[in-house]
Amino acid sequence: MPQISNNKVQHVFLVGAKSLGAYGGYETFINKLTEYHQHDDRLKYHVACKANGDGHMDETKAEGVTCLRKNNKGETVEFTYHNARCFKIHVPEKLGPAQAIYYDVKALSECCKYIKKNRLDNPIVYIMACRIGPFAGHYYRKIHRLGGKVYLNPDGHEWMRAKWSAPIRKYWKISEQMMVKWSDLVICDSVNIEKYIHKCYDGRGIKGNNPKTTFIAYGAETRKSIISDDDETLRSWYESKGLSAKNYYLVVGRFVPENNYETMIREFMKSKSTKDFAIITNVNDKFLDELEAKLHFRRDKRIKFVGTVYNQELLMKIRENAYAYFHGHEVGGTNPSLLEALGSTDLNLLLGVGFNREVAEDAALYWNKTSGDLAGLIEKADALTDREIAAIGQKARQRIKDAYSWEYICGRYAEEFLRRN
């Protein structure tokens, strides 16, 4: 039987997220993992963060940050957050789509330098997403020579994402194959992803073995926000955005095509709903202009892009007060924004793909991308009684409590990181 060590500090290096506290899945995950483990003396996290460019880490917006080191320009390059050591990686922006590959490779190089310099015992390097396949074998061998292990979270089907061109999609698929091979453990955040890994890569791991996998989902909070309905911060936010409690549909997430903003906006515009559609996201102007050219959504006063909300308690309250939540994510595993919605919002309208159904089961309503389907569901949702909505919300919260609470998920990660085989 595997043993769990309580004697030595287990150093875990987390590579693949751009920053902590942003809306991406890995960013949310690392934020919560370090938060829940910040007082666990058995674990020490080292987190790579992006120093510049899209999605970079701005530690001035996070609470409880302590600077450890600055560069000769006076910029913070190393700091602690949730008792984790965070180190910044500067990325040449001229690289374009290759920035992500450079970022991960550079982060891995820095991890190896730190492990060697500090002579760390049995470190774990946990890589999130399959971006650097051609370099996987090299770093696997290097980390093993240093006495460490390589863990991988393969994310969803990155090679299917709409934002990538055909050659890049092909690269992602090949990269995924190589990274799964050169990993000691593949941690899948979805049962469907774990099945997919075995279906595609059994017999193609190290020395022709099957890849070793385990399933650990993302998590969510089930408590209520500490912000009250009459809180001045909340009232001021509603007033500035032209919104009111229980009178808006909501979506929170990255502003990318595969999250189906186009379908959600188009269908909402078709519906006869008198409510608003509030979109909390870090807007990409190019994609926004493309949507406007296709949909002319700016003519519809119900469609409201309301910016970002970094105050987590305020964001939780905005979710609680939404009439309903849209989730259009089509590619990926267990998505944090879906879990957070199920934990906070009574009525959830989800794109009916396998990943989403696996998570919500019968605790949500489902739509497809057929013209008119979501518009019809919106009108049905508008007609539901308060009692019907409350019953659906109770099911959703129970689903999160049973399988996706952050306490449970972070406990599972502690088990896996502290395991001695």
Q: 């994310």: which residue's tokens?
A: 155
Query: To 5 degrees, how large is the angle CA 392–CA 338–CA 312?
Result: 105
Q: What is the pLDDT of residue 60?
A: 84
Residue 23: closest CA among 295, 312, 216, 236: 312
- The residue type found at 79 is F
Residue 62: closest CA among 90, 84, 34, 81: 81
Q: Where are the alpha helices (DSSP H) in 361-405?
A: 373-382, 386-403
Q: What is the pLDDT of residue 8?
A: 85
How many C-beta neighbours within 10 Å does residue 147 have? 12
Q: What is the pLDDT of residue 171?
A: 85
Q: What is the pLDDT of residue 23?
A: 60
Judging by beta carbons within 10 Å of its beta carbon (0-12, 13-18, 19+), is residue 88 exposed, middle or buried?
Answer: buried
Tell me the backbone φ, ψ of residue 222, rounded to 5 degrees.
Answer: -115, -5
Residue 328: closest CA among 280, 272, 369: 369
Cβ proximity of 401 and 222 under 8 Å: yes
Distance CA 261, CA 295 (A): 11
Cite the beta strand spans of 76-123 per DSSP E.
76-81, 84-89
Please report, to the nearest 10 degrees, the dihedral formed by the alpha carbons of residues 121, 122, 126, 127 taken in order.
Answer: 90
Task: Give residue-wise pLDDT tens across range 261-311.
Answer: 999 999 999 999 999 999 999 888 888 999 999 999 999 999 999 998 988
Q: What is the pLDDT of residue 158?
A: 56
Distance CA 168, CA 148 (A): 31
- The residue type found at 45 is Y
How many C-beta neighbours within 10 Å does residue 96 have? 8
Give the Å distances, CA to CA, from 266 to 252, 295, 300, 316, 331: 17, 7, 10, 26, 20
Q: What is the pLDDT of residue 5?
A: 45
Q: Which helix (H) or strand (E) holds 268?
A: helix 261-270
Distance CA 162, CA 255 (A): 12
Q: Which residues of the chain have pLDDT under 70?
A: 1-7, 21-24, 156-165, 332-333, 420-421
Q: What is the pLDDT of residue 263?
A: 97
Distance CA 332, CA 233 (A): 34
Q: 């190896």: which residue's tokens?
A: 112
Longest CA span, the chain: 64
How many C-beta neighbours within 10 Å does residue 354 have? 11
